[in-house]
């Protein structure tokens, strides 16, 4: 079993991947949609707001309006475009959010501790959480039935309703719960770089026991990917590969070891 996480940017990059995916069976695709979310949020007069947690993670502040846009963009626009492209390639994709059949569930965060203008603050009303439960029954039902689940946020709060969640970490939870051998996280960089400005500084291999030491190299969105990788490994996934989506056959390249291989 293989779990693949991609960003939400659609176009040539996804065409490439979909072409590549034709050669694979028994996998689950998880995707984001942050870029498109920012574009549509602006158009709908709910401009994106980001907050920085005290531990340095940047995340989207998700009030009720943002949640509505999130549902439209991730599960409407991006998910259905991916499903459409996969179906055109002959892959029998079925799109799902974490709400459907309670696929991905977690606790609603009461509050988050953020840093704003150098000061620490407690922020409430942020509809976010992280995946704590995965409905493996639904995924296996679809996989055994010959369908490829294409999964995105929102997730479902234990107390009901949608929550924003990080899609990299959601993919990690899915991989762990499905007892996947491998989680491949594709993005627009070659992998974990020692210097984010130098693509030749790729870290090719990380022994899983030493993953924490490498967190210092992760900047911005890469932080969540490394966090996701460590959660997947802790959950029993044998190998996590951070690969580049912007190449021909991006999945095959990653599985052949091109990128950062954590095992």
For binding to a second copy (CB under 8 A), which residues are involved?
A: 40, 43-45, 68, 71-77, 79-81, 83-84, 87-88, 92-97, 99-102, 137-138, 141-142, 145, 147, 154, 156, 160-162
The least CB distance from residue 162 to a second copy, in Å, is: 6
CA distance 70 to 77: 10
The least CB distance from residue 157 to a second copy, in Å, is: 10
Contact 113, 46 (CB under 8 A): no
Q: Give SS3 for 245.
A: coil
The least CB distance from residue 83 to a second copy, in Å, is: 5
Closest CB to a second copy among 83 and 178?
83
Instruction: Give Cα separations from 251 to 114, 254, 257, 259 (angstroms).
Output: 36, 5, 10, 10
Contact 144, 83 (CB under 8 A): no
The least CB distance from residue 42 to a second copy, in Å, is: 11
Could you give the dihedral angle defined by the CA atoms of residues 180, 186, 191 and 192, in that order, rounded to the nearest 10 degrees? -70
Closest CB to a second copy among 8 and 95?
95
DSSP 160: S
The least CB distance from residue 70 to a second copy, in Å, is: 9
Closest CB to a second copy among 25 and 137?
137
Contact 185, 221 (CB under 8 A): no
Closest CB to a second copy among 47 and 236?
47
What is the chain's length? 263
CA distance 167 to 151: 9
Closest CB to a second copy among 84 and 116?
84
């Amino acid at each position: 079993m293989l779990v693949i996480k991609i960003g939400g940017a659609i176009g040539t990059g996804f065409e490439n991947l979909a072409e590549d995916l034709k050669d694979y069976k028994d996998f689950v695709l998880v995707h984001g949609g942050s870029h498109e979310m920012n574009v549509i949020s602006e158009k709908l007069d709910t401009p994106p707001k980001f907050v920085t947690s005290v531990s340095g993670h940047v995340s989207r502040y998700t009030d009720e309006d943002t949640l509505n846009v999130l549902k439209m963009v991730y599960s409407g626009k991006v998910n259905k475009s991916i499903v459409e492209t996969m179906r055109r390639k002959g892959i029998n994709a079925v799109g799902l959010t974490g709400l459907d059949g309670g696929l991905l569930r977690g606790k609603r965060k009461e509050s988050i501790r953020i840093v704003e203008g150098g000061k620490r603050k407690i922020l409430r009303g942020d509809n976010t959480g992280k995946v704590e439960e995965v409905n493996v029954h639904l995924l296996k039902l679809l996989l055994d039935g010959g369908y490829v689940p294409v999964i995105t946020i929102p997730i479902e709060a234990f107390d009901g309703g949608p929550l924003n969640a990080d899609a990299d970490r959601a993919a990690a939870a899915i991989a762990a719960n499905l007892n996947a051998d491998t989680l491949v996280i594709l993005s627009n960089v070659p992998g974990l770089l020692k210097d984010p400005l130098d693509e030749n500084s790729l870290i090719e291999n990380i022994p899983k026991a030493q993953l924490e030491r490498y967190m210092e190299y992760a900047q911005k969105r890469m932080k969540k990917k490394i966090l996701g990788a460590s959660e997947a490994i802790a959950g029993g996934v044998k190998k996590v590969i951070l690969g580049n989506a912007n190449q021909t056959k991006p999945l095959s390249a990653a599985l052949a070891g091109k990128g950062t291989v954590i095992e």
